[in-house]
Amino acid sequence: MIIGALGGLIGLFFFWPEAQPPSAQPGVSIKQEGTTTNSPNIVGSHNTVNLGGAPESPSPLSLEFRSRAEMLPIAAAPHQEIYVLGLHPKITENLSTLTNGGETPLPFPIDWPKIARDLTPAQRLSTMIWRCEITNPNSESLLGIAMTFSVTFRESNASGGSRTTDPIFAGHQHPIEIPGLKSHDSFVFYLVNESPYWTEVEFPDHAQADVVGRVGRANIPIVRVGVNSFEQLPSWTFQPSDLKWHTVSGENGNSN
């Protein structure tokens, strides 16, 4: 009897069904930990697996600023808009716009042919303007690009001397805003002295803008770009204007 019972136990031992490995189930979390592998920790849940590691930082942003001296008049091609930052104590913000809706080029100032006839050779020096071009070299588009120019007006020193010794008549911060720039697009505007004063303009070294695809407003450095040091000056001083401006930048009131 004892031998028969043992035989039955032996039979149960050798013929017990083999245990099957558990099958993977949805929603199972997997966590790998250890110090003997170079593999990153893996954490998964709900059929997803995330590789550990910090997210990449966004690439740094910049704006390129190219500028050069030109002379009036500015020619607006058919169906083109020209943007002007008028320099005058009464003009303290924004850009003025000249729109040419016609089929022929339009000069700025509009009555330039008459103005040019009345100018002496010496007075033509006061028609120097400054062409500014802002370029977005980034892969992202920028919106609401705001920057500020510092403007100082000085009266001529009767005793001579340098411009820095001339008495300051007025000064202000002149903010402008460019609506937006897609990647590698540019925006052109002109600095035009419409005042009877020596006028010094300090160029901005940073701007603020919204970056498409990013959260929050960014502070973006402005990089001066030029083929020579003259085009990379941090400021520029304009001669007093000898022109009799009928209006300030076309729509802001009498100037002189």
pLDDT digits (tens, 9 = 90+) for 121-137: 888 888 999 999 999 99
The overall average pLDDT reported for the chain is 80
- The pLDDT assigned to 203 comes to 96
Assigned token pair, 127: 């028609």
216 vs 8, more confident: 216
- The answer on pLDDT for 172 being more than 60 is yes
Q: How confident is the model over 44-56, as a mean pLDDT? A: 54
- The pLDDT assigned to 250 comes to 42
Dist CA 79 CA 225 (whole Å): 29
Dist CA 215 CA 211 (whole Å): 8
**Residue pair 88/238 in contact by the 8 Å Cβ criterion:** no
**Residue pair 237/166 in contact by the 8 Å Cβ criterion:** no
- The answer on pLDDT for 248 being more than 80 is no
**Residue pair 204/147 in contact by the 8 Å Cβ criterion:** yes
Q: How confident is the model over 94-110, as a mean pLDDT? A: 92
Dist CA 158 CA 11 (whole Å): 123
- The pLDDT assigned to 254 comes to 38
248 vs 150, more confident: 150
- The pLDDT assigned to 44 comes to 44
φ, ψ of residue 115 in degrees (nearest 5): -60, -45
Choose the weakest-confidence range: 50-54, 149-153, 213-217, 233-237.
50-54
Percent of the chain exceeding pLDDT 70 equals 70
76 vs 156, more confident: 76
Dist CA 174 CA 183 (whole Å): 26
**Residue pair 237/199 in contact by the 8 Å Cβ criterion:** yes
Domain regions of the chain by residue span? 63-238
- The pLDDT assigned to 217 comes to 95
Three-state SS for 57?
coil
- The answer on pLDDT for 180 being more than 50 is yes
Band (14; pLDDT cuts 50, 70, 90): very low
What pTM was computed for the model? 0.73
What count of Cα atoms within 13 Å lies in the side-chain half-sphere of residue 15? 6
